[in-house]
Structure 1
Amino acid sequence: MQLLADQDWHDMKDERWNAYGQATYISSWKPAFPAQYTNLNGTPHSLLPNAERSFTGTVTAYFGLKAWQGSEIYLAPEMISELPLSDLKGLGGSIQNFELQKSGSVSATWYKSRFYLKQTISMGGDSHHVVSGPLQLAGNADSRRLVITGGNLSILDIFDKNSYAADLRQQFLNMAFLTNAAYDFAADARGYSVGLAAEYYFDDWTFRLGRFATPQNPNDLPLDFRIFKYYGDQVEIEHRHRLFTQPGAVRLLAYRNHERMGRWDDAIAAYQANPAQNAANCTSFNYDSANSSAPDLCWVRKANVKMGIGINLEQQLFDDVGVFLRGMVSDGKTEVYSYTSADRSLSFGSLIGGDRWGRHYDALGIAYASSWISAGHAEYLRLGGVDGFIGDGNLRYRPEQVVDIYYKLRLLPSAWMTLDYQHIANPAYNADRGPVDVYGVRAHFEF
């Protein structure tokens, strides 16, 4: 019996394997809102002005295995069922539910969200304990180490993390708070990719870089594995600190995508030179616009570069109060390829723990986000063009803005319910439409 105790089948302090799971259901409802026009001249990407209901349901399993010294293998099969507002059209940088996918349907769809290998090479420094969790085996890690991760995963598993605005199954619901809205990170229509990343930890500093595959077509599911021809590169520098004894972090992130995408000015110029090169006449990949008087990106897609740089701040103020801020500027010359329709973005907010009113596991969050598009992007939309998510047929440009307020209530040790309210001004950057109110309920279970 002593031999069995010495060789415990699962040591929670130094795991050889673990298994976790989650289930999340989000229901959203928007009442009718004012709009001077909708889908003008056959342009199909307006948020419908009538009352609508939306939902998502996801189930994910997380499996981790320690294969050899310093190596960890992770697998995460996932299921989604969804019904978006207006077929996921009409919102730019502030899509109301981060779980929504371009390829989803009401019928349950199973897929492999993650399957990757992580290799850690220790280089000394102080040792600290790593707690067990989804996609994380418990053990010890040195403060100086090199971590190499390769396989099928989300770029956001590694880059642009934030303690107060990243885990949207427990935090804010709006996609503007998942990452920088202007961060057009390489991903398929579900938000995942295949690639390789390296992280070098040196005490309070971390340096990250990675290259990942991009979709074959914008906002589409199949990836293009010609990773030396079309790719998404990113580099991030992080510094962790203490300010008046409270922890915080500063992160600088830059990305550069090389993809087969269209430029706004090229699409406009092609249409002006030959009106037959309009949206309705497209025969290659486009967004099914019937507007024969509008330019379209399908005529001008070729190898182009998109770049952006952003900052990500988090700071704990008290034991149960923290704040965050993100901001990013992308060059705004080319179409949105993988993420939201935004060329510049800013978000900030605060999370307050329930200790202040005697509910330790509850939380209150309030945040604001604003997104902008470039002059070329705005002119393309004003002329009736569409991108992956937006296009009303005309445009009176204003920045798109959202306020997201939620209260998370712990019902059981592994179950939470969240009430959420969002107010979205100038949906799709159009002052002729909106504002839009969205009311949400989220049920989240962990096991």
Structure 2
Amino acid sequence: MGANFGAGFPSWSGGRLEAGSGFVSNAFDLYAPNHDRAGASFGAQVGYDWQIGRWVYGVETDFNFLGVRHSANGLFPAPASYSPLGVTGYGLTTDESGNYFATFRGRLGFAVDRSLFYVTGGVAAGGWRGASSLTFSNPAPGSLFYAPLSQSSRMKYAVGAGFEYALYDQWSARLEYLYLNQQLQTQVFDNGLSVQFGARQRSEAHLLRFGLNYRLAAEDGAGARSDKDQSDDKKSDEASNGKDAERYSVHGQTTGVVQGYPKFPALYSGPKSFTPKGQARFGSTTNLFAGVRLWDGAGVYINPEISEGYGLSNSAGAAAYVNSSVAKVGRAAPYMRFQRYFLRQIIGLNGGAKESDPDTGSFNETLESTQNQLAGKVDRDRLILTVGKFAVGDVFDDNVYAHDPTTGFLNFAFNTMGAFDYAADAWGYTYGAALEWKQDWWTARAGLFQLSDVPNSEKIEPVLGRQFMGVAEFEARYDLFEQPGVVKFLVYGDNGYLNKVDEVVDFAFLTGNFPPDITNNALRKRRVKLGGGVNVQQQIAPNLGFFLRASMADGRYETVDYTDVDRQLSFGLVASGKLWGRSKDEIGAAMAFSGLSGPRVRYFALGGASVYIGDGALSYSGEKALEAYYKYNLAEGIDLTLDYQFFGNPAHNAARGPVNVFGLRAHAQF
């Protein structure tokens, strides 16, 4: 881990506003000067290296300020073509641009004594252009144009090379060049009267920067860890401390899923339906899980993620959606986001009595026992405080047999309570705090989390406490016929500006505007949506387990941030391959039954659409889902899974289906 500083030099980005709809000629194009210029760059990085002989390879992620993007604010003369309109000039007002960049890169180098020469490349983020206003000197109606934040559909990336030198055992310095391409940024200026301008600006820069790194373990050569170093360090730690407490951890995973279904019968389709003609889609996610121990019991964690591809029907078509391992926000090109960054503090309560507690989150999966967790001994009775950006499901509604779609069930219904309308952005993460109190046979949990700024938004509510979710969970551990089991009781409340479904339907009848629109902001008021459920995990015999979730929510209100379910029952079995001599294989099968409240049935019957469903009409019957999978271990850390899902009444609609979904998942981890 370390810090860097240097300078960035932008490539020419362009400053042209192209006349679009409403204009007859490009003679009406506008030109504004390009204000991008060289500027400072500084930031921080964290990574992990391996070494084989003289070759060093690794991964690295960083976050940096880059002061090269500058807004084109001011007054400018208009082209002569505007003179007949009485327009002599125009003004531009632009908000701050995204003067930062983040990367998730691989690194390959060759070590010579204490020196390392390397190349690097990977996915980048940032570089957007700020929202802008365009005003003409003639104050006639339609002379004010507005453009939101810029968008880019292409992959942002960074490539470069560098030289690193080991100054001392754990300190090294580097000189690095990066070419940063944050792609063509597009904005559309619109005056609300079908007249538009289009602006396209490149966000590219060359960077030269110096860096200083601190290695969290003894180094070999230019800084990579050899197997012997790691073994010696572990023995030294155990001898001196009497325990194996990790100072840092770096883990990763990549999951790719291809799913498809053949044609199926459907009397009609809507904006959020599975297309009845059949379809196949691929999507993937790649994550780095990095953690560092700050002091006794405390660790800080960061998780960059690269996503690519789409879910079936662009992540719509069923309330118990078919794939929770692929981001709902689909894009053809890979894109990167920092999905988690949080602090976790463990406070012991029983005077130092220690026990091993890997806090495993998924049946027989090494990844779940290590990601976002520093190994070590902890008090049996303890408090755990987690603060930052993370997923509500990281703490609540866990189940050892069904919770991780990268290794187990793919369907929503089997990884989370269907009626648990938890706070999240469109990717499933939010800002919040959670406190856990673990005792001998029970655990109590409570948390507060920010809702999205409007339901099902990509943005989290920016004002702390303005819109939030409160959640509490009580867990009891027991033995039943000498087999361990866990039962959890969960309650939650979403406190925010929500639509009441009946009011949306009444408004449609009053105005004659159909179908009713649940996204109508004018009808939203501060309301509290309540819900809860029970979660059971029970070992039947060694290597064979049963799970069950039952949940219900107040169906008078719209879906806030999860899916379109007001009540659900799901249950299933999971068996380890140890039963048939393949210890790392796994097989699972489960069923789920979901339903809607009366107000929501009326809303969808009138053609309304929501987060995941909307067929244009509704012949209501509760949605039924079945899933079965077999996970085959190819090698250490590499699995291939065959998956099958059956849907009866998809989207709670008896007029469509059944649908048979076939899937293949490839998963690798370290």
Task: Tell me, yes or no, whether TM beats 0.5.
Answer: yes
Partner residue of 1:85? 312
Residues 1:58 and 2:58 are matched in the alignment: no
Contact 2:350 / 2:381 at 8 angstroms: preserved in 1?
Answer: yes
Greater Rg over alpha carbons, structure: 2
Partner of 2:331, secondary structure, is coil
List per-residue Cα deviations over 1:352-371 (Å, max 9, x = no partner): 11122211111110000111
Partner residue of 2:483? 246
Contact 1:212 / 1:227 at 8 angstroms: preserved in 2?
Answer: no
Deviation larger for 28-37 or 45-54: 45-54
- Between the aligned partners of 1:378 and 1:82, the Cα distance in structure 2 is 32
Contact 1:350 / 1:365 at 8 angstroms: preserved in 2?
Answer: yes
- Between the aligned partners of 2:492 and 2:517, the Cα distance in structure 1 is 28
- What is the CA-CA distance between 1:304 and the residue it aligns to? 1.5
Partner residue of 1:222? 459
- Between the aligned partners of 1:263 and 1:133, the Cα distance in structure 2 is 42
Give 2:275's aligned amino acid: L
Partner residue of 1:103? 329
- Between the aligned partners of 2:342 and 2:518, the Cα distance in structure 1 is 38
- What is the CA-CA distance between 1:100 and the residue it aligns to? 3.2
Residues 1:116 and 2:342 are matched in the alignment: yes
Select 1:358's aligned residue among 581, 592, 596: 581
- Between the aligned partners of 2:489 and 2:281, the Cα distance in structure 1 is 35
Select 1:141's aligned residue among 372, 378, 383: 378
Q: Label 1:436 to 1:146 Cα distance change in 2 as closer, same or farther (>3 A).
A: same
Give 1:374's aligned amino acid: S
Give 1:116's aligned amino acid: F
Partner of 1:312, secondary structure, is strand
- Between the aligned partners of 2:424 and 2:237, the Cα distance in structure 1 is 35
Contact 2:285 / 2:326 at 8 angstroms: preserved in 1?
Answer: no
- What is the CA-CA distance between 1:293 and the residue it aligns to? 4.5
- Matches for 1:174-213 after TM superposition, within 5 Å: 174-213=411-450
Contact 1:54 / 1:84 at 8 angstroms: preserved in 2?
Answer: yes
Give 2:385's aligned amino acid: I
Partner residue of 2:566? 343
- Between the aligned partners of 1:435 and 1:20, the Cα distance in structure 2 is 40
Partner of 1:106, secondary structure, is strand
List per-residue Cα deviations over 1:207-248 (Å, max 9, x = no partner): 100000111122111110323221011000001112222211
Q: Label 1:10 to 1:64 Cα distance change in 2 as closer, same or farther (>3 A).
A: farther
Q: Label 1:302 to 1:100 Cα distance change in 2 as closer, same or farther (>3 A).
A: farther
- What is the CA-CA distance between 1:7 and the residue it aligns to? 8.2
- Matches for 1:149-164 after TM superposition, within 5 Å: 149-164=386-401
TM-score normalized with structure 1 length: 0.92
Partner of 1:48, secondary structure, is coil
Contact 1:74 / 1:115 at 8 angstroms: preserved in 2?
Answer: yes
List per-residue Cα deviations over 1:319-352 (Å, max 9, x = no partner): 1100000010101111111111111111100001
Give 2:323's aligned amino acid: N
Q: Label 1:445 to 1:10 Cα distance change in 2 as closer, same or farther (>3 A).
A: farther
Select 1:71's aligned residue among 273, 278, 298: 298
Partner residue of 2:556? 333
- Between the aligned partners of 1:335 and 1:415, the Cα distance in structure 2 is 40
Select 2:629's aligned residue among 382, 403, 406: 406
Contact 2:234 / 2:244 at 8 angstroms: preserved in 1?
Answer: no
Residues 1:440 and 2:663 are matched in the alignment: yes
Partner of 2:333, secondary structure, is coil
Q: Which ranges in structure 2 are unaligned for 5 or more consecutive residues?
A: 1-217, 219-228, 359-368
- Between the aligned partners of 2:385 and 2:549, the Cα distance in structure 1 is 26
- Between the aligned partners of 2:531 and 2:298, the Cα distance in structure 1 is 32
List per-residue Cα deviations over 1:243-266 (Å, max 9, x = no partner): 222211010000100121211101
Higher relative contact order (CA 8 A, sep 6+): 1
Residues 1:394 and 2:617 are matched in the alignment: yes
- What is the CA-CA distance between 1:9 and the residue it aligns to? 8.4
Give 2:550's aligned amino acid: G
- Between the aligned partners of 2:312 and 2:233, the Cα distance in structure 1 is 55
Partner residue of 1:16? 247
Contact 2:310 / 2:328 at 8 angstroms: preserved in 1?
Answer: no
Give 2:251's aligned amino acid: Y
Give 2:554's aligned amino acid: D
- What is the CA-CA distance between 1:87 and the residue it aligns to? 1.9
Partner of 1:159, secondary structure, is coil
- What is the CA-CA distance between 1:387 and the residue it aligns to? 1.0
Partner of 2:654, secondary structure, is coil
TM-score normalized with structure 2 length: 0.62
Contact 1:130 / 1:137 at 8 angstroms: preserved in 2?
Answer: no
Deviation larger for 219-228 or 325-334: 219-228
Contact 1:64 / 1:72 at 8 angstroms: preserved in 2?
Answer: yes
Partner residue of 1:431? 654
- Matches for 1:376-391 after TM superposition, within 5 Å: 376-391=599-614
Q: Label 1:135 to 1:394 Cα distance change in 2 as closer, same or farther (>3 A).
A: same
- Between the aligned partners of 2:629 and 2:461, the Cα distance in structure 1 is 38
Number of residue pairs matched?
A: 425
Deviation larger for 292-301 or 250-259: 292-301
- Between the aligned partners of 1:349 and 1:151, the Cα distance in structure 2 is 33
Residues 1:166 and 2:397 are matched in the alignment: no
Partner residue of 2:157? none
Q: Label 1:254 to 1:128 Cα distance change in 2 as closer, same or farther (>3 A).
A: same
- Between the aligned partners of 1:53 and 1:157, the Cα distance in structure 2 is 30
Q: Which ranges in structure 1 are unaligned for 5 or more consecutive residues?
A: 279-291
Give 1:46's aligned amino acid: S
Deviation larger for 96-105 or 259-268: 96-105
List per-residue Cα deviations over 1:356-395 (Å, max 9, x = no partner): 2211111110000111110000100001111112111111
Partner residue of 2:274? 47
**Percent identity between the two aligned chains:** 37
Partner residue of 2:121? none
